[in-house]
Structure 1
Amino acid sequence: KWTWSAVFTLQWLGLSIAWLDGAEVLYTYYYPTHIVLVGVTVSLIWRYYGR
C-alpha cells in the first residue's frame, strides 16, 4: 500500500512542480517520467498479482 501512496505522491509532486514551472517543463520532463513510472508500477503489480 505504501508503494501506491509513494507513486501517487510523486506524480502529484511532479505535476505541481511542472505546472508551476510552465508547460514546457511539463512536456519535456514530466510526461516521459510519468509514462515510465506508470509502466513500471503496472508491470510490478501485474507480476505480483498475476501469480
Structure 2
Amino acid sequence: MLEGATTDGSSSPSGLQNYIHEFTATLLRIPGLAVTSGKVRATAYVKVRVQ
C-alpha cells in the first residue's frame, strides 16, 4: 500500500500518519466529441484507514 509513497511529515493527535503518492493519468478523446488542446491539472484527496 505504501510502496512509492512518502510521508508528508505530519501526523494527527490520534497517531494517524499522512502520506503522499503521485499518479499519472492518460486522457483519451470521447468518441463523437470535439477535442481542443490545453492542460488539465487535478487533485484528488483519498482517505484510507487501515487497522
TM-score calculated relative to the size of structure 1: 0.20
- Structure number with the higher helix fraction is 1
- Structure number with the higher strand fraction is 2
**Structure with bigger gyration radius:** 2
TM-score calculated relative to the size of structure 2: 0.20
